């Protein structure tokens, strides 16, 4: 049982997307390559938009991966590479943009939508409760008719 669970887990792990970095892009220095991979995971593919350039097969993502490696080889720090790419493409290139006034909407939009959706749900529930049909009581004629029906059975 445990072996089959372990095998299933390993199979699931193998289905995870592998990085799109090609062998010809990799740096010979393992420390620089590790930094490049770390940076590539933080940068958004401008074509795919919800993938990092490390995971994307797009041509632009490949160009950006090569650019990151060139900048690192030239001696730039990780922050300098990010600053260069942000200056060129804007904060959108970062998968986790900084929290500042310009990026306030993307950071707060999920919470605002949740609050607005909850308010609509609450108002709808109150409206349904208020408009629920309340049966009016039976008048005397209806009560007599009901009594007759019940006596027949």
Report the candidate in 68, 74, 77 with the shortest Cα–Cα distance to residue 37.
68
pLDDT over 50 at 17, yes or no: no
Read off the pLDDT of residues 84-134 as tens digits, 9 standing for 90 and up. Answer: 999 998 888 888 888 888 778 878 888 999 999 999 999 998 888 877 777
- Split at pLDDT 50, 70, 90, the class of 12 is low
Domain spans in the chain, listed from the N-terminal domain onward: 14-98, 100-133
Q: What's the pLDDT at 82? A: 93
**pLDDT tens digits, 36-81:** 889 989 898 888 878 888 888 888 888 898 899 999 889 889 999 9
- Residues pairing with 43 in the sheet: 94
C-alpha to C-alpha distance for 41 and 43, rounded to whole angstroms: 6
- Angle (CA) 71-75-52 rounded to 5° is 35
CATH code, residues 14-98:
1.10.8.640
């Amino acid at each position: 049982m445990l072996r089959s669970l372990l095998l299933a887990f390993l199979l699931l792990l193998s289905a995870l997307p592998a990085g799109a970095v090609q062998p010809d892009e990799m740096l010979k220095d393992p420390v620089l390559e590790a930094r490049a991979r770390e940076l590539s995971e933080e940068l958004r593919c401008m074509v795919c938009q919800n993938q990092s350039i490390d995971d994307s097969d797009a041509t632009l993502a490949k160009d950006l991966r090569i650019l990151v490696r060139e900048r690192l080889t030239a001696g730039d720090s990780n922050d300098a590479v990010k600053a260069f790419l942000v200056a060129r493409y804007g904060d959108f290139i970062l998968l986790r943009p900084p929290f500042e006034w310009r990026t306030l909407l993307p950071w707060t939009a999920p919470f605002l939508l949740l609050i607005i959706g909850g308010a609509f749900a609450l108002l709808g529930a109150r409206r349904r409760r208020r408009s629920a049909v309340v049966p009016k009581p039976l008048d005397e004629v209806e009560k007599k008719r009901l009594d007759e029906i019940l006596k027949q059975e």
